[in-house]
């Protein structure tokens, strides 16, 4: 586990970590927002769509299906989770920062980039099937660094988030699907 200088698992500089989280989030959002503006992505309009019960159920359904497929793949292919450091870190003073990052910050920033910039911008003119597949492939590679069987789990996640975006025509449902998924992954890691 990596910590800042003079830190240990239970002696954390909360101010320093808070600043890193806040500044990192602001810089990430500003960078993605700038990219979306440069390619004239309509993500701002799609952020205004209302959260509906139907959309929320769809987002939750995609998340649950994604988790089930991940478990099946992991079992069949005998691959271990790529989140091996997650549980030990949750037992340190970094837990609050990790939870906020995993459940809120990452899903929102990642969906802004993958659905707002790529799917609704760069790949907008492609047929939906290709746009969804390309976005999911890049999502998987961004999380897996190189093609492997565990990258397939991220590809499935990318498909579910891209489908949620496409089917609801709104950013919020895709982000909600990603938030649900990350929350479920966190729960699964804590329970098993």
Instruction: Encode pLDDT of 33-43 as tens digits.
Output: 899 889 888 77
Give residue-wise pLDDT tens across range 72-84: 887 887 766 556 6
Q: What token pair was written down for 154?
A: 């991220």
Region for 127 from its dihedrals, namely left if φ exceeds 0, alpha if ψ lies in -120 to 50, beta otherwise: beta
More confident residue, 174 or 11: 174
Q: What is the structure's pLDDT at 3? A: 63
Residues contacting 138, CB < 8 A, separation 6+ = 114, 118, 158
Would you state the torsion angle of the CA atoms of residues 133, 66, 176, 30, taken in this order, to the nearest 10 degrees? -50
Contact in structure between 82 and 185 (CB atoms under 8 Å): no
Give residue-wise pLDDT tens across range 85-139: 677 888 888 889 989 999 999 999 999 999 999 998 999 999 999 999 999 999 9
**C-alpha to C-alpha distance for 176 and 63, rounded to whole angstroms:** 9
Give residue-wise pLDDT tens across range 20-35: 999 999 999 999 989 9
């Amino acid at each position: 586990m990596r910590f800042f200088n003079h830190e240990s698992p239970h002696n954390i500089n909360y101010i320093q970590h808070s600043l890193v989280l806040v500044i990192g989030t602001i810089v990430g959002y500003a960078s993605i927002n700038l990219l979306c503006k440069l390619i004239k992505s309509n993500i701002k309009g799609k952020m205004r769509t209302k959260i509906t019960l139907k959309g929320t159920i769809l987002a939750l359904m995609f998340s649950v299906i994604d988790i089930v497929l991940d478990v099946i793949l992991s079992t069949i292919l005998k691959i271990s989770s790529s989140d091996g450091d997650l549980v030990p870190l949750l037992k340190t003073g970094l837990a609050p920062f990790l939870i906020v990052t995993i459940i809120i910050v990452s899903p929102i920033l990642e969906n802004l980039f993958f659905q707002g910039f790529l799917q609704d911008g760069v790949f907008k003119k492609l047929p939906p099937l290709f746009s969804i597949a390309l976005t999911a492939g890049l999502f998987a590679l961004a999380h897996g660094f190189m093609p492997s069987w565990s990258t397939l789990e991220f590809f499935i996640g990318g498909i579910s988030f891209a489908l949620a975006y496409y089917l609801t025509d709104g950013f919020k449902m895709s982000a909600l699907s990603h938030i649900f998924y990350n929350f479920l992954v966190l729960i699964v890691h804590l329970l098993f």
